[in-house]
């Protein structure tokens, strides 16, 4: 019996996505071909484009399919052609690394990006800028004030990009309401297949392609479209939005988990707990209990969680997100992320809480013994 | 009225995903869905193991080491990384690039970007059969040449370039050789060691694997440095960041393993079918011209110009037979093929050309029906054309 609680790293394929994916893997057609097989492939891509646009309050013509969130973030940041870049301190590495010379917008102790700092940074210069602030953080789940940031950006003639990879499918997301100029979404974080994502671009925002070739995706992104993957992405996002009410129950599970961990370990620090968070994410640390030890012991007990984000799992450096929130290194290096999914159950939470409490109890007993000796 | 069976003969645009490949992929969609980079837990480790096994399968097809294979979203991305990445990644002063006029648009447009950055670019011509001239290549490559990019198999006319000879010339001059092998991988034997290939691009969906995945081979050599196009979490040794899609990697791996196993026998089967088809057409109707070299071409490719008839009229006359005019990505454009014009075809000949791509799942029966339908279409259209011109007089 295993409990998978690492949905922010990747999620299982939703049945709706699996169905169309399996069906289309048995069909053949290049979406650019003019014959019947090509036109059928094209129709699947266009249906998905409408599903993605509809789910996110965008226009279908603004949806550019990519190979995933990383590519979409790179396309937004490198493709917008703005010399001045402002990114928040808690962005995903694909944003931070794509903007090596960017000015950093700090976050506060709750993990919320500091809008006064954004305002001050923008007020100082005239150069047209691009601001990138994620909609919800992948490690803490903290939801960012993107609509307000977009308002500030607009006042200063800056473009706003938001990485909505973790938010899409878990929260209602509306491009128009947010006022974002560009938005990134990833398929596999919301129950679609890996290898697909999209950059949504507001009408009128110019974009320089990063992959050149045939004129696919209206010249924004060359390469034969991944027809089954794109169709399954559309189906998954559609299903996620239709069933979003299930996150009320997920949130209850998360809150229950937080209470129970807090009861077992009063010294635990819950990151972002005072801010608005994604309903599925819990990130906390207990000094003296290294992240790797927790992840490995939990894995032995059949419970899968992560230390920080998946792409940095291999590294031992403390999380830049927790550091930006002012967490000291020893606490950051003793933190884990538990992320639930739409189909997580009370049993999953029970498995996690039991395994974790046992580890915590053992560690405390060993520490007490050591100090007694 | 004969039976209107749908027949797919556009295997250079995309191939069906082999059911054995789908079978291999399916477990990674359902039970084994971990993020291959979350390898500190069981699901992640399982996905990571599958990705590494797939990497070895891809490497095996072209005689590379597994660690020389980087997964990408497809050959277009691989070609972009190879060309633009080499130009911005290598610590040297070479500022000259050689490519060929019949390359795929993603190679030509990537090279164009280097041109804009101030690189000198030499575009090698091809002869009437689509072959490059090795002496011209030898003359073009100098001590300043950073990169030579020549596709192993041309996507419209199927012509095979002599990669081993090209590799020897590049090696002697110290230039890197990149080849777009999207159409070649799994169709003809490729060995990056023997052929002195430094960078090679593969596409999943052109060799009976899934869409949305490709691979870049990069020789493990200090002289072959490639800067990434995308920045991110450091996956694929930093060459290509982003979560590696485990099911797609498994798919391209399985496709490469199957191709390595079956390539030789399959090529013989397709060659017989294709040659039989061409013979039937040329015997039944006059004015058929084969485009591209008669021998140096992959077994599944036929490209013909039909005198006096535009391709779109022929395709419209047999809507149940999926063939193409030119390459898929330029299908929607009205311009005639840059490739066929490079072979010296007139605009009229280029516009009257059909690419017929036979593949692994093409049967003898289908080939025969398609031949009949094409002959019928040509005969009817010509009859109608003649009647119209009589009426006009």
Q: What is the pLDDT along chain B (393 residues), one digit of tens a residue?
A: 445 689 999 999 999 999 999 999 999 988 888 888 888 888 899 999 999 999 999 999 999 999 999 999 999 999 999 999 999 875 668 999 999 999 999 999 999 999 999 999 999 999 999 999 999 999 999 999 999 999 999 999 999 999 999 999 999 999 999 999 999 999 999 999 999 999 999 999 999 999 999 999 999 987 888 988 888 888 888 889 999 999 999 999 999 999 999 999 999 999 999 999 999 999 999 999 999 999 999 999 999 999 999 999 999 999 999 999 866 555 545 567 899 999 999 999 999 999 999 999 999 999 999 999 999 999 999 999 888 887 776
| pLDDT score recorded for residue B329 | 54
Query: For residue A44, which phi and psi values (nearest 5 degrees)?
Result: -65, -40
| DSSP per-residue codes, A323-346 | HHTT--HHHHTTEEEEE--TT--H
CATH 3.20.20.70, applies to B7-15+263-387: no
Decide if B52 touches A, using CB distance below 8 A: no
| pLDDT score recorded for residue B90 | 59
Residues 6 or more apart whose Cβ sits within 8 Å of residue A251: A279, A280
Q: Do A38 and B331 touch (CB under 8 A)?
A: yes
pTM of the full structure: 0.93
List the single residue in A94, A214, A310 with the smallest CB-CB distance to B35. A310
Q: For chain A, how big is the Rg over CA atoms in Å?
A: 21
Between CA B117 and CA B121 the distance in angstroms is 11
Interface test with A, best of B242, B315, B323 (most A CBs within 10 A): B242
| DSSP per-residue codes, A218-259 | GGTS-S---HHHHHHHHHHHHHHHHTGGGHHHHHHHHHHHHH
Positive or negative CA dihedral for B47, A48, B252, A185? Answer: negative
Mean pLDDT of A106-122: 97
Residues 6 or more apart whose Cβ sits within 8 Å of residue B95: B118, B119, B120, B144, B146
Between CA A172 and CA A287 the distance in angstroms is 35
Decide if B80 touches A, using CB distance below 8 A: yes
The token pair that represents B259 in the structure block: 């191709």
The token pair that represents B254 in the structure block: 């399985």
pLDDT class of A115 with cuts at 50, 70, 90:
very high
Q: Which residues of B touch A92 (CB under 8 A)?
A: 232-233
Q: Which residues of A touch B231 (CB under 8 A)?
A: 74, 93-94, 97-98, 100
The token pair that represents B307 in the structure block: 């005198």
% of chain A exceeding 90 in pLDDT: 89
Q: For chain B, how big is the Rg over CA atoms in Å?
A: 22
Between CA B385 and CA B363 the distance in angstroms is 33
Positive or negative CA dihedral for A67, A69, A74, A76? Answer: positive
Decide if B78 touches A, using CB distance below 8 A: no
| pLDDT score recorded for residue B1 | 40
Shortest distance between the Cα of A192 and any Cα of chain B, in A, equals 9
> How many beta carbons lie within 10 A of that of residue A39, not counting itself?
12
Residue A45 · residue A27 · CB < 8 Å: no
Shortest distance between the Cα of B310 and any Cα of chain A, in A, equals 15
Specify the residue for token string 């399916």: B26
> How many beta carbons lie within 10 A of that of residue B92, not counting itself?
10
B243: exposed, middle or buried (C-beta count within 10 Å: 0-12, 13-18, 19+)? Answer: buried
The token pair that represents A227 in the structure block: 């027809």
pLDDT class of A308 with cuts at 50, 70, 90:
low
Model confidence at A203: pLDDT above 60: yes
Q: Which helix (H) or strand (E) holds B265?
A: helix B246-284
Class in CATH terms, B19-258: alpha beta
User: Running DSSP on this structure, what letter comes out for residue A84?
Assistant: E
Q: Which residues of B touch A319 (CB under 8 A)?
A: none
Between CA B244 and CA B391 the distance in angstroms is 63
Q: Do B248 and A229 touch (CB under 8 A)?
A: yes
- The number of C-alpha atoms within 13 Å of B87 and in the hemisphere containing its C-beta is 24
Q: Do A97 and B40 touch (CB under 8 A)?
A: no
Residues 6 or more apart whose Cβ sits within 8 Å of residue B173: B141, B142, B143, B145
Shortest distance between the Cα of A227 and any Cα of chain B, in A, equals 7
Domain boundaries, chain B: 7-15+263-387, 19-258
The token pair that represents B26 in the structure block: 């399916």
Shortest distance between the Cα of B271 and any Cα of chain A, in A, equals 22
Q: Do A216 and B329 touch (CB under 8 A)?
A: yes
The token pair that represents B288 in the structure block: 């058929």
Q: Are strands B145-149 and B176-180 parallel, antiparallel or unpaired?
A: parallel
List the single residue in B16, B105, B231 with the smallest CB-CB distance to A74. B231
Active-site annotation of B, residues: 329
User: Running DSSP on this structure, what letter comes out for residue B153?
Assistant: B
Shortest distance between the Cα of B228 and any Cα of chain A, in A, equals 10
Decide if B20 touches A, using CB distance below 8 A: no
Between CA A117 and CA A85 the distance in angstroms is 14
Which segments within chain B are labelled E, that is strand?
7-8, 69-72, 96-100, 120-124, 145-149, 176-180, 199-203, 214-218, 288-290, 301-306, 321-322, 353-357
Decide if B85 touches A, using CB distance below 8 A: no
Residues 6 or more apart whose Cβ sits within 8 Å of residue B346: none
Q: Which residues of A touch B242 (CB under 8 A)?
A: 67-71, 94
Residue B161 · residue B150 · CB < 8 Å: yes
| pLDDT score recorded for residue B2 | 47
Mean pLDDT of A137-158: 97
Positive or negative CA dihedral for A94, A95, A97, A99? Answer: positive
| pLDDT score recorded for residue B327 | 62
The token pair that represents B113 in the structure block: 């970007």
Q: Do B76 and A312 touch (CB under 8 A)?
A: no
Decide if A300 touches B, using CB distance below 8 A: no
Q: Please calculate the CA angle B372-B375-B376 and round it to the nearest 5 degrees.
A: 85
Residues 6 or more apart whose Cβ sits within 8 Å of residue B272: none
Best CA proximity match to A282, nearest among A314, A298, A249, A305: A305
Decide if A339 touches B, using CB distance below 8 A: no
Q: Which residues of A touch B41 (CB under 8 A)?
A: 6, 295, 298-299, 304-306
The token pair that represents A169 in the structure block: 């499918």
The token pair that represents A264 in the structure block: 């077992």
Query: For residue A8, which phi and psi values (nearest 5 degrees)?
Result: -75, -15
> How many beta carbons lie within 10 A of that of residue A78, not counting itself?
20
Q: Which residues of A touch B77 (CB under 8 A)?
A: 67, 211, 223
Interface test with A, best of B212, B331, B334 (most A CBs within 10 A): B212
Q: Which helix (H) or strand (E) holds A91?
A: none
Model ipTM value: 0.90
Q: Do A10 and B38 touch (CB under 8 A)?
A: yes
Shortest distance between the Cα of A372 and any Cα of chain B, in A, equals 33
Decide if B29 touches A, using CB distance below 8 A: yes
Mean pLDDT of A177-203: 97
Model confidence at A313: pLDDT above 50: no
Decide if B360 touches A, using CB distance below 8 A: no
């Amino acid at each position: 019996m295993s409990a998978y609680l690492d949905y922010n790293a990747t999620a299982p394929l939703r049945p709706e996505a699996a169905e169309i994916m399996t069906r289309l893997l048995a069909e053949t057609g290049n979406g650019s071909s003019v014959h019947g097989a090509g036109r059928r492939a094209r129709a699947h891509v266009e249906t998905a484009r409408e599903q993605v646009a509809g789910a996110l309050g965008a226009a279908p013509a603004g949806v550019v399919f990519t190979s995933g969130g990383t590519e979409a973030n790179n396309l937004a940041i490198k493709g917008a052609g703005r010399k001045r870049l402002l990114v928040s301190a808690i962005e995903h590495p694909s944003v931070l690394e794509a903007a090596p010379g960017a000015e950093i917008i700090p976050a506060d102790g709750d993990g919320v990006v500091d809008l006064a700092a954004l305002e001050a940074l923008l007020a100082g210069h005239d150069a047209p800028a691009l601001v990138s602030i994620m909609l919800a953080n992948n490690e803490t789940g903290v939801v960012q004030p993107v609509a307000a940031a977009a308002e500030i950006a607009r006042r200063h003639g800056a473009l706003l990009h938001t990485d909505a990879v973790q938010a899409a499918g878990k929260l209602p997301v509306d491009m128009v309401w947010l006022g974002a100029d560009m938005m990134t979404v990833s398929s596999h974080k919301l129950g679609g297949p890996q290898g697909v994502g999209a950059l949504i671009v507001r009408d009128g925002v110019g974009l320089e392609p990063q992959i050149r070739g045939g004129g696919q995706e209206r010249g924004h992104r060359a390469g034969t479209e991944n027809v089954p993957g794109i169709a399954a992405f559309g189906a998954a996002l559609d299903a996620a939005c239709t069933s979003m009410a299930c996150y009320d129950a997920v949130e209850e599970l998360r809150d229950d988990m937080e209470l129970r961990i807090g009861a077992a370990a009063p010294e635990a620090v819950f990151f972002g707990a005072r801010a608005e968070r994604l309903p599925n994410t819990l990130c906390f640390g207990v000094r003296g209990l290294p992240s790797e030890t927790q992840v490995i012991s939990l894995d032995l007990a059949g419970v899968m969680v992560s230390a920080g984000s998946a792409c940095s799992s291999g590294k031992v450096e403390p999380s830049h997100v927790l550091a930006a929130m002012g967490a000291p290194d020893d606490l950051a290096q003793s933190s884990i992320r538990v992320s639930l999914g739409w189909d997580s159950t009370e049993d999953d939470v029970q498995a996690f809480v039991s395994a974790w409490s046992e580890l915590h109890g053992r560690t405390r007993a060993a520490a007490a013994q050591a100090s007694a000796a | 009225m004969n039976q209107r069976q749908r027949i797919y003969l556009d295997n250079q645009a995309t191939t069906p995903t082999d059911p054995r490949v789908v079978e291999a992929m399916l477990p990674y969609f359902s039970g084994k869905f971990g993020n291959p980079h979350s390898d500190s837990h069981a699901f992640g480790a399982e996905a990571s193991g599958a990705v590494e096994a797939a990497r070895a399968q891809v490497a095996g097809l072209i005689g590379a080491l597994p660690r020389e294979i980087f997964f990408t979203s497809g050959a277009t991305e691989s070609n972009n990384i190879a060309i633009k990445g080499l130009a911005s990644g290598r610590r040297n002063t070479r500022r000259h690039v050689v490519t060929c006029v019949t390359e795929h648009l993603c190679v030509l447009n990537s090279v164009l970007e280097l041109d804009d950055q101030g690189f000198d670019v030499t575009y090698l011509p091809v002869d009437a059969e689509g072959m490059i001239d090795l002496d011209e290549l030898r003359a073009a490559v100098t001590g300043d040449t950073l990169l030579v990019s020549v596709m192993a198999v041309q996507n419209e006319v199927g012509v095979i370039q002599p990669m081993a000879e090209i590799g020897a010339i590049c090696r002697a001059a110290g230039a890197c050789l990149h080849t777009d092998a999207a159409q070649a991988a799994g169709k003809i034997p490729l060995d990056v060691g023997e052929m002195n290939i430094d960078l090679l691009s593969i596409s999943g969906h052109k060799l009976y694997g899934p869409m949305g995945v490709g691979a870049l081979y990069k020789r493990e050599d200090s002289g072959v440095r490639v800067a990434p196009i995308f920045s991110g979490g450091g996956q694929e040794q930093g060459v290509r960041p982003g979560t590696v899609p485990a099911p797609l990697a498994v798919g391209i791996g399985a496709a490469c393993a199957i191709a390595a196993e079956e390539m030789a026998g399959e090529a013989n089967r397709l060659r017989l079918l294709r040659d039989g088809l061409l013979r039937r057409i040329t015997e039944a109707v006059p004015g058929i011209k084969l485009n591209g070299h008669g021998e140096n071409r992959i077994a599944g490719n036929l490209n013909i110009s039909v005198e006096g008839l535009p391709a779109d009229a022929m395709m419209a006359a047999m809507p149940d037979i999926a063939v193409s005019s030119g390459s898929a990505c330029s299908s929607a454009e009205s311009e005639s093929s840059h490739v066929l014009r490079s072979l010296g075809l007139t605009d009229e000949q280029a516009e009257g050309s059909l690419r017929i791509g036979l593949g692994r799942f093409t049967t003898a029966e289908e080939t025969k029906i398609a031949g009949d339908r094409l002959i019928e279409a040509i005969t009817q259209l010509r009859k109608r054309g003649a009647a119209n011109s009589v009426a006009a007089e």
